[in-house]
Amino acid sequence: MKEYAGHDSAGVFDIDCTAEGKPLCDANGVRGFPTIKWGNPGALEAYEGGRDYDSLLKFASENLKPTCSPSNIELCGDEKKAEIEKFSSMSAADLEAAIKEGDESISAAEKHFKDEVSKLQKNYEGLMTTKDETIEAVKDSGLGLMKAVAAHQKKAAKEEL
């Protein structure tokens, strides 16, 4: 925060999501702590990088600067300008519907992922149980004793020579 205090184009803020900052955190999908969000204040993204000072400073120096957005359209290429114009010409209701559809698609992808990971976890647990039971059954059938007898026989054969 000290590095970016008074910075012209970027701000770093500490928000207490358990007190006055709770509505802001809720609106931006903050569910755990600490959470780092970055980007356009109207469309913040989750930060997934390292949490040490050097990693944060490197990320900030590469990313916390003015970027293409409706408020900085001069920084946009032709393709992004056209996209901003397209979204700007939509009615508020159509824009909200498109945002909702995108958010729902992301939520569906996350749910599908979690469901499939849960299935994998159950399968993994079943495989571990089967493996452990098989190993125990083989050991109970006398494997250790067989190994001891084989070692004894090898030792006896060497002694005969």
Least confident window among 50-64, 83-97, 113-127: 50-64
Half-sphere exposure of 132 (CA within 13 A, CB side): 6
Least confident window among 7-11, 33-37, 95-99, 155-159: 7-11
Question: Residue 76's pLDDT band (boundaries 50, 70, 90)?
Answer: very high
**Which candidate, 58, 64, 14, 18, places its Cα nearest to that of 38?**
64
Cα(53)–Cα(156) distance, integer angstroms: 65
Assess if residue 100 is contained within a domain. no
Assess if residue 17 is contained within a domain. yes
On the question of pLDDT at 142 being above 80, the answer is yes
Number of domains the chain is built from: 1
**Amino acid at position 132, single letter:** D
Assess if residue 50 is contained within a domain. yes
What phi, psi does 37 have (nearest 5°)? -115, 150
Average pLDDT along the chain: 89
Domain of residue 33, residue span? 1-67
Query: What is the mean pLDDT of the segment spanning 11-36?
Result: 83
Assess if residue 52 is contained within a domain. yes
Assess if residue 110 is contained within a domain. no
